[in-house]
Amino acid sequence: MNLLAAYFLANWLPVIMTEAGTAPRRRCWPAHLLVGGIAGNLLLGWFVDRRGFGPTLAITFLTAAWRSR
């Protein structure tokens, strides 16, 4: 379901950005973030398969906390 939601968001995002009146150069930025998010989800899924849920979640939370300071 996550990938299905990402697929629909990727297809509608340019339309939404156009209707919002953003400049053409700025319309690509959210799409790039979306593609990066999909790649990150797939990578985290691979880590969960290899290392387990607990260690992957702990490392993810520690990384997020470190990046947000």
What pLDDT score does 61 carry?
A: 93
What pLDDT score does 43 carry?
A: 93
**pTM of the predicted protein model:** 0.59
Give every residue of the chain whose pLDDT is below 70, as ranges. Answer: none
What pLDDT score does 17 carry?
A: 82
* Surface-to-core class of residue 6, CB atoms within 10 Å of its CB (0-12 exposed, 13-18 middle, 19+ buried): middle
Report how far residue 68's alpha carbon sits from residue 14's, in angstroms, rounded to the nearest whole number.
29
What pLDDT score does 26 carry?
A: 77
